Chain A
Amino acid sequence: MRTKIFALVLIIALLMLLTGLGYIQITMHERYRLLSEENRLKIVPLMAPRGCIFDRRGEVLVKDILSFNACVLYNKIKDVDSLINVLSSVLALPKETVRENVMKSRKQPYSLTCVARDIGIEKAIPLEEIAMDYPGLLLEVSAKREYTRGMTASNVLGYLGFINRSEFDKLKHYGYRINDMVGRDGIEKYYDDYLRGTHGGKQVEVDHFGREVSTLGFKEPGSGRDVYLTIDIELQEFCDGLLKEKRGSIIVMDPNTGAVLVMANAPSYDPSVFIDSSNASEVASLLKDKNYPLLNRAISGVYPPGSVFKVVTATAALETGVITEATSFNCPGYFALGRIVFNCWRKDGHGLQALEDGIKNSCNVYFFNLGRLLGVERLSRSAGKFGLGSLTGIDLPGENAGVLPTPSWKKKRFNESWYQGDTINYSIGQGYLLCSPIQIARMMSVFANGGYLVKPYLVSRVGDIPVETVEKTDLAISDDSLEAVREGLNKVVNDPRGTGMKAKLGNVTVAGKTGTAQTSKNKTHGWFAGFAPYEDAKITVLVFDEYGGKGGYYAAETASKVFKKAKEMGLLDG
């Protein structure tokens, strides 16, 4: 009995199924046949425009512009040869190339195949006019990224690339499509989620002329949000100009907030190269270039800081009380540790000097003495406080934390004990210590803003929402120590015999420190980190000159040009 009831239920289900199938396959057959065979149902993707990127004054740096692609749809082509002829004459391309591209469409006869990308409006208009006479020829309109200032700030802005297969598998749940562009570096990558819009689309029924008859469904594309940078493009362009034919970085930063006004790098690249897939060889040469143009040196490159590090040694010595401002050491031109001799950069020595002159002269022997008194633990703790060896947290991808050496680090890395000689080198910013330019910029900012470590940032606003958050850490350095080091930094630039006198300006007081870092190769890096005005600093300027020789020369001179330009632009006024 129960089995019969069960069988009855199954029979009813079977009848329902057959009724449904009969309805859809027999009664509604004609409608679905039209939808399918005539290919009448079409999905038209509506791409969302990507957000623009602006500088602090609202100048547009990156935007989407229209671009036209000449495409063919194989199953609609009536006369292949005449199509190839007309395409070759309008596009001014050799017939063989066009034929080759058109023939590619055979493999996917029902979807668009691109014959030529980004053909420009002057070719697009005649093509659109003749499209009616050549079935299968279609003009596709898409968005193209334009970098209005060319190579300026390219390492900051970053570039786009087509999403690859493995990324697509990971990202498809977040609304990415297979032909999407994603940010590959810089702001384009870090803020991709905001810049990128959400795709929409509509499903339409078309008649056999290809005209839309009705819209069955519609999903509006949501455009991406605009991103506003703290970058000042005028000053940035000026700094990029200063670096021409050079290798290195210039950073200009507000020491009080961490807002980055300039992040210039050389060599750099043209981000628009990555947009067009026909530039593959150019992209490959960028990737292979031994000068690493794609590297954002300001945040991803790490180098020995050399003498600019002496401000950390000085602060540590004062704060721990191993010296006072007045403690003097004699510099005979060398420093002997057991049998090893460390030289001062000036062979005949600086004589007897206290802190202020030690900084002014950048006397190695003076700082060797401080280093020996401090010991490695206190020195590296102080360096860590100044943010060296850790990420600044700037809103860019690919930041490098550098190396903050300690005895345990050396043990792990080289399986060697720490020698006192290592500490001696450490005290003047040589040896294992590696820092990125942005780390040095914020280290110097501590002396510009009254003792705070700030977090550098580049984006002030996303769409209508301000995202600026000033993060300051009070390093709890006593006013006396801070003032003592500042006095030294003042003398470096403004004393007629200071090591950074090249940075001096007439109408505004600049303070700072030079650095000349030895590298494993037989060349030196030049550094200058400084701020102005001395009394109430508005900007910190960092110049890093890769393999550029002594910091006192080119780097300090370049910095003075940046300060001068900033002054002209009114950036140093209250």
Chain B
Amino acid sequence: MDRVLLLGAVLIALLGIVFVYSATWDRADGENIPSALVVKQSMWVLVGLVFLFMTSRADYLKMLDFAYLAYALNLAALVFLLLFGGERYGARRWIDLGPFSVQPSEFVKITVILALAAFLGERRERIGTLKNYIGAVILVMPAVLLIFLQPDLGTALVILPILLVMLFICGESARYILSTIALGFLSLPILWSFLKDYQKTRLMVFLNPDLDPLGAGYTIIQSKIAIGSGGIFGKGWLSGTQSYLEFLPERHTDFIFSVIGEEWGFIGALILIGLYALVIARGIRIISSAEDIYGKAIASGVVTLIAFQVFVNISMTIGLMPVVGLPLPAISYGGSNTIASLISVGFLLSISRRVNR
């Protein structure tokens, strides 16, 4: 088993707790009071690690037998949400289970990888044909559409690179893949008309944040100020004024990187990105050393999932990309994100275990 990878993932999850603390603590009468969210996040990490170990000990080929079933159940949960889900922050993303709530769209990121891996593995003789290619695309479309309708643009978007990279690594025709990307760009104007007003505003504001400094542009401006003011060494843990003054909305979830950048500076950002880079590099090594196409497929999907979310999340906090609402894997506050991210690492470990044997 790849112990370096395991160590990297655990360190990332622990850093998450440290910064959820920093993003949500309160001060009263000169004393620091941790918020209840820290306790919860620690619990999620613990649960996530248990799942990680269970997944890493299991045989991924056996788990793939249940890939379609898991994917189908996951899609059913998304349909249920669309029909009966209660709205929170203007979207139907959460299934309420009493003391906590589950975000099925976080888990669909994994089940879609597994379903696709099963599909590509079963049909390995037919790889390269147009029919197989289209089949794979059709397989993931229900997930993309259902999440897009929630609406959750970011998660819907993350499935597309996963699909393309898995197809690419498994040997599908590069011509088809490039055509798909070209087609995607050409259809952007059509997609625009399907977006909700607030999503359009976010994209417009990305082009010019000063358009609406109190509304949609506010988050980007404040996040840039937080990260920029952190400088090389940062203001120190628990000393970020931007976040403490509540200038930053969503600072424990999608914008947690702003807190890291403000308090630990460029150095802290390098450490975190370095840890992610380590996980991703080990992931790449697992892709190339995996002994079967199933392993290659799963590993490439997981690596893309992690890399894409890290890239998009950090880019949006520094204004390089529009705000699309993707979490920082295993760092942003949230049970579904944390657990799903750690399970995905568990799959990488399971594949690496088979290689070493």
A interface residues (Cβ-Cβ under 8 A, vs B): 2-3, 5-7, 10, 13-14, 16-18, 20-22, 24-26, 28-29, 31-33, 35-37, 39, 41, 43, 45, 107, 110, 173, 201-203, 216-217, 219
Contacts and interface: CB of A to CB of B under 8 A. Distances in A.
Contact of B277 (A14, A32, A36, A45): A14
Interface string B198-238: 00000000000011111101000100111111111000000
Contacts of B210: 203, 216-217
Contacts of B319: 24
Contacts of A16: 315, 320
B88 to A, nearest CB: 10
26 contacts: A3-B287, A5-B168, A6-B287, A6-B303, A7-B284, A10-B280, A14-B277, A16-B320, A17-B315, A17-B320, A18-B273, A21-B269, A22-B266, A24-B228, A24-B319, A25-B227, A25-B231, A31-B228, A32-B228, A36-B242, A43-B214, A110-B245, A201-B213, A216-B210, A217-B210, A219-B215
Contacts of B28: 107
A299 B221 CA distance: 51
Q: Say what secondary structure dominates the interface of chain B.
A: helix
A105 B84 CA distance: 44
Contacts of B303: 6, 10
Given A13-B311, A17-B311, A24-B224, A203 B213 contact: yes
B340 interface: no
Given A2-B171, A6-B300, A173-B90, A32 B320 contact: no
A82 B311 CA distance: 53
Contacts of A17: 273, 311, 314-315, 320
Interface string B152-194: 0000000000000100110100000000000000000000000
B231 A26 contact: yes
B355 to A, nearest CB: 14
B227 to A, nearest CB: 6
Given A6-B169, A18-B270, 9 more contacts: A6-B300, A13-B307, A17-B273, A17-B311, A20-B318, A21-B314, A43-B213, A202-B213, A216-B210
Contacts of A217: 210-214, 217
Nearest to A109: B245
Contacts of B35: none
A431 B315 CA distance: 73
B18 to A, nearest CB: 19
B129 interface: no
A32 B261 CA distance: 12
Nearest to B228: A32
Nearest to B267: A25
B287 A20 contact: no
B266 A26 contact: yes
A187 to B, nearest CB: 30
A107 B315 CA distance: 34
A406 to B, nearest CB: 38
B335 interface: no
Nearest to A111: B245
Interface of B: 28, 90, 165, 168-169, 171, 210-215, 217, 221, 224-232, 241-242, 245, 261-262, 265-266, 269-270, 273, 277, 280, 284, 287-288, 300, 303, 307, 311, 314-315, 318-320
A6 B214 contact: no
A17 B311 CA distance: 7
Contact of A219 (B168, B212, B229, B307): B212
Contacts of B228: 24-25, 28-29, 31-33, 35-36
Nearest to B210: A217
B177 to A, nearest CB: 10
Nearest to A35: B225
A14 B214 CA distance: 31
Nearest to B213: A217
Contacts of A3: 169, 284, 287-288, 300
Nearest to B90: A173
A25 B213 contact: no
Nearest first, the 8 closest Cβ-Cβ pairs linking A and B are: A32-B228, A217-B213, A36-B229, A203-B213, A25-B266, A29-B231, A32-B229, A201-B214
Contacts of A18: 270, 273
Contacts, number: 117
Contacts of A32: 224-225, 227-229
B287 to A, nearest CB: 5
A25 to B, nearest CB: 4
A33 B229 contact: yes
B212 A41 contact: no
B302 to A, nearest CB: 13
B57 to A, nearest CB: 26
A203 B280 CA distance: 41
A25 B113 CA distance: 36
Nearest to A173: B90
Nearest to A46: B214
Residue among B171, B229, B242, B262 with the most chain A CB within 10 A?
Answer: B229
B84 to A, nearest CB: 20
B232 A36 contact: no
A353 B227 CA distance: 94
Contact of B315 (A20, A43, A203): A20
Contacts of B217: 217
Contacts of A41: 221, 225
A452 to B, nearest CB: 44
B213 A216 contact: yes
B50 to A, nearest CB: 29
A16 B269 CA distance: 14
B225 A36 contact: yes
Contacts of A20: 315, 318, 320
Contact of A21 (B171, B241, B242, B261): B261
B232 A219 contact: no
A32 B317 CA distance: 14
B121 to A, nearest CB: 16
B259 to A, nearest CB: 13
A35 B229 contact: yes
A36 B226 contact: yes
A370 B230 CA distance: 89
Contacts of A13: 307, 311
Given A10-B307, A20-B320, A25 B265 contact: yes
B143 to A, nearest CB: 22
A127 B61 CA distance: 77
B200 to A, nearest CB: 16
Contacts of B241: 36-37, 39
A17 B212 CA distance: 26
Nearest to A43: B214
A40 to B, nearest CB: 10
Contacts of B231: 25-26, 29, 33
Contacts of B307: 10, 13
Contacts of B318: 20-21, 24
A28 B215 CA distance: 24
A211 to B, nearest CB: 19
Nearest to A32: B228
Nearest to A11: B277
B214 A219 contact: yes
A14 B272 CA distance: 12
Nearest to B308: A13
Nearest to B30: A106
Contact of A24 (B212, B227, B277, B280): B227
Residue among A24, A32, A33 with the most chain B CB within 10 A?
Answer: A24
A399 to B, nearest CB: 30
B232 A26 contact: yes
A21 B226 CA distance: 12
